[in-house]
Amino acid sequence: MENLLNNSAISPRGIAQSAIAIGSNLGDSQEIVVAAMETLAQTPGIELLTKSSWYRTKAVGPPQPDYLNGCAILQVEMIPELLLEILLNIENKYGRIRRDRWGARTLDLDLLLYNDLILNTPKLQIPHPRMGDRAFVLVPLAEIAPDWLEPVSQRTIKELVKDVDCSGVSLFLGD
């Protein structure tokens, strides 16, 4: 995976590598996450470089159905704030309604990493502030980007995944 990673925050050509998490636990989750990936891949300025397998994961927060989760590595020609806006628009396209924190949702797209950028604004934090605590993020991300260095901890994804309880995450084989 090292060959996919660019070590500067934004390359001189304006191209960056970004990691995103994708999840769903309402509606036809499998159909929704696959369609959302296709939408991302067809978005100008975004190239889908690789995606993880899908994983069934126990929900965090109030009682709700299990999630279908995965991760993807994108090559993007945009600043992180624009990428976030695109992710939020795709969530809306697939019926995301923001009611309860950590509540059930048709689609959740999280911007996890953007090259080695560390960003903390009122609207966006990179790396994602809770990714290091979430097996449902780290397991699929470790599958596709094990050597990506998380810039705050200075640890690789494969190192971070060793520190979380992965018992609620299992490979999704389809229904």
CB 110 within 8 A of CB 62: no
The pLDDT confidence band at residue 158, using thresholds 50, 70 and 90, is: very high
Under DSSP, the state recorded for 78 is S
> In this predicted model, which residue has the larger pLDDT, 21 or 174?
21
Mean pLDDT of 121-138: 95
pLDDT at 102: 62
Does residue 130 carry a catalytic annotation?
no
Express as a percent the part of the chain with pLDDT over 90: 78
Chain segment 97-121, per-residue pLDDT in tens: 766 666 678 899 999 999 999 999 9
pLDDT at 13: 54
User: Which entry of 66, 98, 100, 110 is annotated as an active-site residue?
Assistant: 110
User: Which entry of 98, 100, 105, 165 is annotated as an active-site residue?
Assistant: 105
User: How far is it, in rounded angstroms, from Cα 57 to Cα 16?
Assistant: 29
Secondary structure class of 46 (helix, strand, coil): strand
Which residues share a beta bridge with 23? 69, 108
Predicted TM-score (pTM) of this structure: 0.89
- CA R_g for the chain: 15
Does residue 165 carry a catalytic annotation?
no
Does residue 108 carry a catalytic annotation?
yes
> CA 175, 130, 157, 91: dihedral to nearest 10 degrees?
50
User: Which entry of 28, 56, 66, 96 is annotated as an active-site residue?
Assistant: 96
Does residue 110 carry a catalytic annotation?
yes
Instruction: Enumerate domains of the chain plus CATH numbers.
Output: 2-171 (3.30.70.560)
Tell me how many degrees the CA angle 164-136-64 measures, rounded to the nearest 5: 115
Least confident of 35-44, 97-106, 152-161: 97-106
One-letter amino acid at 151 equals P
User: Which entry of 56, 108, 116, 134 is annotated as an active-site residue?
Assistant: 108
User: How far is it, in rounded angstroms, from Cα 37 to Cα 127?
Assistant: 21
One-letter amino acid at 97 equals I
